[in-house]
Chains A and B, each alone.
Chain A
Amino acid sequence: SAVISQKPSRDICQRGTSLTIQCQVDSQVTMMFWYRQQPGQSLTLIATANQGSEATYESGFVIDKFPISRPNLTFSTLTVSNMSPEDSSIYLCSGGGTGAGNTIYFGEGSWLTVV
C-alpha cells in the first residue's frame, strides 16, 4: 500500500492568486494523478503527473491553469493559477502501480475556497 500526504489540507484564497498543492507518497509509485472534486460532485481527472516530463492533461484542463510538476517518483505538485470562485474544490492527489488492476491510493485532499 501507499500513504499519500497532501498539504495544505485547507486554504482560503483570494481571487486572482495562485496556490501550489504538494503531494508526497511514502513509497515509489509509477503513476500519479490529480483529481478535482467540486462541492457535492464526483471526482474528475485533471491530469496524469509524469516523472520528469510534462503532465498529460484531460479535456477541459490546461497547463497554464493547472501546472503540474513531478521531479521524482514520490513527489508532485499541482498549482491552481489565477483562481476564481469556480476553482473552489477539493483537489486530490493519487498514486499507484502501472497495471490497470492495481489499487490507486488517495490523499486526504486539499480543500480550497476562493473568495
Chain B
Amino acid sequence: AQSVTQLGSHVSVSEGALVLLRCNYSSSVPPYLFWYVQYPNQGLQLLLKYTTGATLVKGINGFEAEFKKSETSFHLTKPSAHMSDAAEYFCAVSADTGRRALTFGSGTRLQVQP
C-alpha cells in the first residue's frame, strides 16, 4: 500500500519569497508522484507529476518538484511566490499494484502575504 505525508498543514510566505511544500511518500514499489492544486471553491488541477526519468520535474505556474528516492520525498518548490499561488496543495501517489486510484496526503494550505 502507498501513503503520503505532507508536513505542515499551513505554510505562510511573503510575496516574492521561496515556496517549499514538503511531501514524503511510502511505497513498496516504484511510485508515481503528483502535486495537485485546489483554489478556493474549485476542483483539483494537476501541477506536475513524476513517473520515470528525470527526477526534477517542472510544472505549471513556475512550480517544480524533485523526486529523491533515498529520502522518499517529492517536495514542491517555487522560487518566488505570487499572491495568486494562495491555495490548497495536495501531494498524491500511485503505483503499479493494481490499485489505480491516487492516494492523497492531508494537504497544505499556502498563504501568501503582501
B-chain residues with CB within 8 Å of residue A13 when the two chains form the complex? none
Contact partner of B102 among A4, A104, A109, CB < 8 A?
A104
Q: Could you tell me if A108 and B42 are in contact, using CB atoms closer than 8 angstroms?
A: yes
Interface stretch, picked from B18-26, B46-54, B62-70, B73-81, is B46-54
- Does A60 make an interface contact (CB < 8 A)? no
Q: Could you tell me if A100 and B32 are in contact, using CB atoms closer than 8 angstroms?
A: yes
Give Cα distance in the complex from A107 to B104, angstroms. Answer: 16
Contact string against A for B residues 1-16, beta-carbon threshold 8 Å, 1 for contact and 0 otherwise: 0000000000000000
- Does A92 make an interface contact (CB < 8 A)? yes
| Interface residue ranges of B64-109 to A (CB < 8 Å) | 90, 94-97, 100-107
Q: Min CB distance, B16 to chain A, in Å?
A: 28
- Does B17 make an interface contact (CB < 8 A)? no
- Does A63 make an interface contact (CB < 8 A)? no
- Does B56 make an interface contact (CB < 8 A)? no
Q: Min CB distance, B77 to chain A, in Å?
A: 21
Q: Min CB distance, A13 to chain B, in Å?
A: 19
- Does B43 make an interface contact (CB < 8 A)? yes
Q: Could you tell me if A31 and B100 are in contact, using CB atoms closer than 8 angstroms?
A: yes
Contact partner of B52 among A92, A94, A101, CB < 8 A?
A101
B-chain residues with CB within 8 Å of residue A108 when the two chains form the complex? 42-43
Give Cα distance in the complex from A48 to B45, angstroms. Answer: 20
B-chain residues with CB within 8 Å of residue A101 when the two chains form the complex? 32, 49, 51-52, 94
Q: Min CB distance, A8 to chain B, in Å?
A: 14
Give Cα distance in the complex from A36 to B43, angstroms. Answer: 12
- Does A43 make an interface contact (CB < 8 A)? yes
Give Cα distance in the complex from A43 to B92, angstroms. Answer: 10
Give Cα distance in the complex from A92 to B49, angstroms. Answer: 20
Give me 4 other A-B pairs in contact (C-beta within 8 A), A41-B106, A100-B96, A105-B46 excluded.
Answer: A92-B44, A100-B95, A101-B94, A106-B45
Nearest 8 pairs between A and B by C-beta?
A: A101-B51, A106-B44, A108-B43, A101-B32, A100-B94, A106-B43, A43-B104, A42-B106
17 pairs from A and B in contact (CB 8 Å cutoff): A33-B101, A33-B102, A42-B106, A42-B107, A43-B102, A100-B100, A101-B51, A101-B94, A103-B46, A103-B49, A104-B34, A104-B101, A106-B43, A106-B45, A107-B43, A108-B43, A111-B41
